[in-house]
Amino acid sequence: ALEGRFQISAKTLDKDLVVIRTYMPSDAMKARFHNRIIDDLHDREVIISVARHTETGIFRTNEDMEVQYAMPKEHLNKLLAQERAANDELIAEFGDRVFEYDDDIMDREFPELKTVPKLHFFHAPTNKSYDANYGKLMFNECMRIAIDQYQNRTGVQVNNGAWMIVDDVEFTGDWKELLDTYTLPTIHSTENEFEGGTLISSEDLPYPLEDTRVNWWATYASKNFREKYVISQRVNKVLWKQTEQVVYYSARFLEVLHENMKEGRHAQSEIATPTICEWNGCRRVEIDRKFIEGDQFYTNFNGVHTTEEIQARLEFNRAHGVHKLVHPCKW
């Protein structure tokens, strides 16, 4: 839980918060957290935000948000037990770095989330599809929860912005090298903290609403988001979309996002984050292509390459001093 509201503290972090977002990570992923991210980023505060389900249940809803059916209790209990065991192992290994969240916590913080249509996932044991949790779609809201949980637990104010790193991305160089390239002073963006802040991501581009790359995701949005950023003539019927395996939100931009959340403006984060940035005086900065692997080794689509091919590319890059982001690494 959020353990109460965070009161602005005189104690400030004064360095980046780095949030690794995960769900029942594999041993290889946990080794990645330790040996790559945490070890490399020794001068930053690294935490792990892990999703879980609750005994409230897992349901399937239709487009009108009506419940069609629920996951049978015996399957729900088995999944909950698996999650609990995985999260207990994570806490045993990483200790106070770990923060758990679930949809109940999200709904209490952001009541309008309940109005956003649900993405579905297939559950093989029951041969049915169910609503995915918010962690699959709403990265901004999940980041806000993680930041607030960290502030509440430590009493330390996150004042230097936050990086988000998903659990299935690899960087074949030193993570510190990558993040140091994009500090606000380095990219000459400190003055933007007096405006809308700064967003750092990749493949951050505008698309007309009819483009399939954004119009499908636009259905996963609240009424207030659609009215302000989709329907409004002011935005010229354009949505921005980014790739969000590695994202930096400056302190000011985190405030802008939070202000929008409090106004009930929620949407799938690939479109929500850059679109909110565009219309709120935020500066967008692209991660340089030199840090991003080509040949479709940095993509949202599973199945483009086999696990063996991805592992071979990682091994090649490291052996030859090639520093690239690679995704997805789901083993």
Read off the pLDDT of residues 109-162 as tens digits, 9 standing for 90 and up: 999 999 999 999 999 999 999 999 999 999 999 999 999 999 999 999 999 999
Question: Which residues lie below 8 Å from residue 66, measured CB to CB, with a gap of 6+?
Answer: none
Is the predicted pLDDT of residue 68 greater than 90, yes or no?
yes
Lowest mean pLDDT, pick from 215-219, 288-292, 318-322: 215-219
What is the pLDDT confidence band of residue 51, given thresholds at 50, 70 and 90? very high
Residue 79 CA to residue 85 CA, distance in Å, equals 10
Residue 154 CA to residue 89 CA, distance in Å, equals 22
Name the average pLDDT for the chain.
Answer: 93
Structure tokens at 203: 């493949």
Is the predicted pLDDT of residue 218 greater than 90, yes or no?
no
What is the pLDDT confidence band of residue 4, given thresholds at 50, 70 and 90? low
Residue 218 CA to residue 227 CA, distance in Å, equals 11
Structure tokens at 260: 């929008």
Q: How many CB atoms lie within 10 A of CB 179?
A: 22
| Phi, psi (degrees; rounded to nearest 5) at 159 | -115, 5
Name the amino acid, one letter, at 206.
Answer: P
Instruction: Return the higher-pLDDT residue of 321 and 64.
Output: 321
* Mean pLDDT value of segment 14-42: 97
Structure tokens at 307: 């696990």
Is the predicted pLDDT of residue 234 greater than 80, yes or no?
no
Give helix 269-278 / helix 251-262 axis angle, nearest 10°. Answer: 110
Closest CA to 64 of 100, 111, 23, 114: 114
Is the predicted pLDDT of residue 235 greater than 70, yes or no?
no
Structure tokens at 270: 């690939």
What is the pLDDT confidence band of residue 210, given thresholds at 50, 70 and 90? confident
Is the predicted pLDDT of residue 233 greater than 80, yes or no?
no
What pLDDT is stored for residue 8 in this prediction? Answer: 67
Name the amino acid, one letter, at 255.
Answer: E
What pLDDT is stored for residue 77 in this prediction? Answer: 97
H or E stretch covering 120 = strand 120-123
Tell me whether residue 287 is exposed, middle or buried, using C-beta atoms within 10 angstroms of its C-beta: 0 to 12, 13 to 18, 19 or more.
Answer: buried
* Mean pLDDT value of segment 20-37: 96
Query: Is residue 168 a contact partner of residue 326, using CB atoms and an 8 Å limit?
Result: no
What is the pLDDT confidence band of residue 22, given thresholds at 50, 70 and 90? very high
Residue 165 CA to residue 170 CA, distance in Å, equals 9
Question: For the chain, what's the residue count?
Answer: 331
Is the predicted pLDDT of residue 293 greater than 70, yes or no?
yes
What is the per-residue burial (b if ≥16 Cβ within 10 Å, else e) of 311-330? bebbeebeeeeebbbbbbbe
Query: Is residue 196 a contact partner of residue 256, using CB atoms and an 8 Å limit?
Result: yes
* Mean pLDDT value of segment 2-21: 82
Closest CA to 182 of 170, 168, 200: 200
Report CA-CA distances (Å) from 168 to 95, 121, 124.
Answer: 21, 18, 22
Tell me whether residue 56 is exposed, middle or buried, using C-beta atoms within 10 angstroms of its C-beta: 0 to 12, 13 to 18, 19 or more.
Answer: exposed
What pLDDT is stored for residue 232 in this prediction? Answer: 75
What pLDDT is stored for residue 65 in this prediction? Answer: 87
Count how many Cα atoms sit within 13 Å of the Cα of residue 204 in the half-sphere of its side chain: 25
Is the predicted pLDDT of residue 196 greater than 90, yes or no?
yes
pTM to 2 decimals?
Answer: 0.95
What pLDDT is stored for residue 215 in this prediction? Answer: 85
What pLDDT is stored for residue 10 in this prediction? Answer: 76
What pLDDT is stored for residue 185 in this prediction? Answer: 97
What is the pLDDT confidence band of residue 304, given thresholds at 50, 70 and 90? confident
Is the predicted pLDDT of residue 108 greater than 90, yes or no?
yes
Report CA-CA distances (Å) from 330 to 32, 78, 110, 134, 309.
Answer: 11, 22, 30, 20, 13
What pLDDT is stored for residue 212 in this prediction? Answer: 86
What pLDDT is stored for residue 6 in this prediction? Answer: 62
* Mean pLDDT value of segment 179-207: 96
Is the predicted pLDDT of residue 38 greater than 90, yes or no?
yes
Residue 193 CA to residue 125 CA, distance in Å, equals 49
First to last CA, the chain: 30
Tell me whether residue 293 is exposed, middle or buried, using C-beta atoms within 10 angstroms of its C-beta: 0 to 12, 13 to 18, 19 or more.
Answer: buried
Is the predicted pLDDT of residue 165 greater than 80, yes or no?
yes
